Amino acid sequence: MIKEYLDYLKAVKGCSRLTLDAYGNDLSRYSNYCENLGIKSEEASSYEVQSFIADLSAERMAASSVNRSLSSIRGFYRWMIRLNKRKDNPCESLKNIKTPVSLPNVLWESEMADFASLPETTGILWPERDKALIMTMYSAGLRIGEVVTLSMSNISASFDEAKITGKGGKQRYVFFSQEAKEAIAEYLPHRQARLSITEKNGETDALFINRKGQPISIPGVRWIISRYSQYSGLGKNINPHALRHSFATHLVNSGCDVRIVQEMLGHSSISTTQRYTHVNIEKMKKVYAASHPHS
């Protein structure tokens, strides 16, 4: 039943591979939990769902991840009801748990410049690729899933812009800064040389590849950014999403209209984008505290 549901999400709802993987993992874990209780997930009651969610919380899983699991289960049962395979939704009385309001982790302009220079100054991995990777993610505000699927065929000939397919198959155009364009142009000959060495020519259209000539993976990007974060000396936990947060924060702080930033980020709701105005407020508080004689 779960496989049928995932097939439905892919064929009818057009969910992305990343979304399908997340829902699949959530539902697989829930199904195993139900089996350990001696029941089928299709026949579970609200008690089993509530117990499963309580167990996730007890494992100190992030509130957002717990809520996503509940959303996955809730959607599964809604689908079953539509197909007349079940009469009730055991999640109907269950509410999402409260998530703490936290400000995005960002690098300020000078910190971002220092971080982007690390591939050249440390030489710990693949300097040309890593500089292009960091600048591409930052200058276009890309999600990690968007950068690993960024293909050569979707980038303009002048490297000014690219067509991105984001969450839910939603497409948008993103733009690259001059520094990002220069970094990509410097990386491309090294990319071609790597493809020739590994005999992978013509096998991949992905912009960013690993040393085996294969498209770079999401864990691979996380590992690369993590390595440079360790070398940065900035005292911040820098992850791939921090580059996207920094992109949005710098635009808002420079006076860019929030709705334009919303379009650039590919957010469906303006409320998601508005949190970057709170980051600006936090910066103003720090300036006030450092400058006011009676603060």
- HEC assignment per residue over the chain: CHHHHHHHHHHCCCCCHHHHHHHHHHHHHHHHHHHHCCCCHHHCCHHHHHHHHHHHHHCCCCHHHHHHHHHHHHHHHHHHHHCCCCCCCCCCCCCCCCCCCCCCCCCCHHHHHHHHCHHHHHCCCCHHHHHHHHHHHHHHCCCHHHHHCCEHHHECCCCCEEEEECHHHCEEEEECCHHHHHHHHHHHHHHHHHHHHCCCCCCCCECCECCCCCECCHHHHHHHHHHHHHHHCCCCCCCHHHHHHHHHHHHHHCCCCHHHHHHHHCCCCHHHHCHHHHHHHHHHHHHHHHHCCCC
- Residue 77 designated active-site: no
> How far is residue 217's CA from residue 220's CA, in Å, rounded to a whole number?
5
Name the active-site residue from 129, 181, 191, 267: 267
* Residue among 129, 131, 143, 191 flagged as catalytic: 143
Q: Is 228 a catalytic residue?
A: no
Catalytic residue among 78, 167, 190, 278: 167
Q: Is 167 a catalytic residue?
A: yes
Task: Please confirm, yes or no, whether 129 is among the known catalytic residues.
Answer: no
Catalytic residue among 191, 244, 245, 250: 244
Identify the active-site residue in 10, 241, 278, 283: 241
Respond yes or no: is residue 231 known to be catalytic: no
The CA-based dihedral angle spanning residues 217, 221, 222, 226, taken in that order and rounded to the nearest 10 degrees = 150
Respond yes or no: is residue 74 known to be catalytic: no
Task: Please pick, among 5, 30, 33, 276, the residue that the annotation labels catalytic.
Answer: 276
Catalytic residues: 143, 167, 241, 244, 267, 276
